[in-house]
Amino acid sequence: MSFTIAQIAEAIGADAVGETHLHIVSVAEPASATADQLAMASNPKYAEALSKGSAQAAVLWQGADWQALGLRAAILPTRPRFAMAGLTAMMDPGQNFASGIHPSVIIDPSAVLGRDVSIGPFTVISARASIGDGSVIGPQCFVGADAVIGAQAQLREHVSIGARAQIGARFVAQPGIRIGGDGFSFVTPEPSAVEAVRETLGDQGDTIAQSYARIHSLGAVRIGDDVEIGANSTVDNGTIRDTIIGNGTKLDNLVHIGHNAIIGDDTLICGQVGVGGSSRIGNNVVLGGQTGIGDNLFVGDRAITGGASKVLSNVPAGRVVLGYPATKMDAQIEAYKSLRRLPRVLRDIAALQKAVFKSGPND
């Protein structure tokens, strides 16, 4: 697989200069790029390393003096980082799964497969499941009964899609994800200590220790179009209604979405985030890594949480929050600065007290 500089530039909507007929087989960092690779030097600080490699062409920035860098050609996108999306898609060799259906696959006779579907070894497609046209299902995957997966889906190895899940087009599932496990829903015969503490904010009252009874998940999971879910992430079934993830939303690795949660469109959820049951996350939200969202909360459209934030109350639309408990980011940072100054302030107060006591009331 190779492309000319001109073909790459046209595909990503960028300007091409120099010897645009040069062929490129892959991309590389500037210091290690060979003559047939495209060096990624979209920032002047990266371009400094071009002299260590042997690249003849590079992705640079608008206005870059590509000839002074010793190159024979260059691609000059207006927004280099965005150009990376198209460029990496163009150069992606894929997972090299064999096309067609492997003989070890188990497919229930009532399942429906679209055109040009590929399924890897030891995968199970259950009763009445539906797989859309052009989808690639990797090895050792499971698709549950009555599950629907839209066209052009890509499921990596060890992906598990539970019964009744409804998934839109162009779904990307990284290794080890689980869609449609039961929600974490348990109840005690009498009001529990946790219920009492929620009311009193600390006092368990006269509650007694009890065993938990399981509440089964009768709902499923609904996922929109163009959603990507990272490795080892989980999305629980709803209890009665479905858990929902909107169009264009992306989940990083090790994300957990609790039962009945509703996630909006084009939301970005970073690694190790946990969203509590029945919480609602709006459109275009960004949840920084290790953010925790309590249950039954609301996070408004375009809100952003800093890394490791713990959200214990509703977040209005457009709000940027940080900390535990999460508050406005600027207020949280100011409070942190004050906390760091606190030991010095206390030492100053102690010194003043010592001076006052030493001088005595009559001095």
Encode pLDDT of 47-95 as tens digits: 999 999 999 999 999 999 999 999 999 999 999 999 999 999 999 887 7
**Average pLDDT rounded to a whole number, residues 144-171:** 98
Judged against a pLDDT cut of 70, whether residue 338 lies above it is answered with yes
pLDDT at 357 (0 to 100): 84
The pLDDT-based confidence of 175 (bands split at 50, 70, 90) is: very high
Query: Strand locations in 7-105, DSSP E?
Result: 15-18, 23-24, 26-28, 37-40, 57-59, 73-76
Ordered structural domains, the chain, with CATH: 3-91 (3.40.1390.10)
- How far is Cα 361 from Cα 359, in angstroms, rounded to an integer? 7
User: How confident is the prediction for the chain on average, in pLDDT?
Assistant: 95
pLDDT at 82 (0 to 100): 95
On the 0-12 / 13-18 / 19+ scale of CB atoms within 10 A, 161 is buried
Q: What is the pTM of this model?
A: 0.89
Which residue of the set 102, 158, 216, 259 is catalytic? 259
Show the CA angle centred on residue 84, arms to residues 79 and 85, nearest 5°. Answer: 105
Six token digits for residue 106: 């188990």
- How far is Cα 280 from Cα 296, in angstroms, rounded to an integer? 7
Whether 256 sits among the annotated catalytic residues: the reply is no
Encode pLDDT of 208-257 as tens digits: 999 999 999 999 999 999 999 999 999 999 999 999 999 999 999 999 99
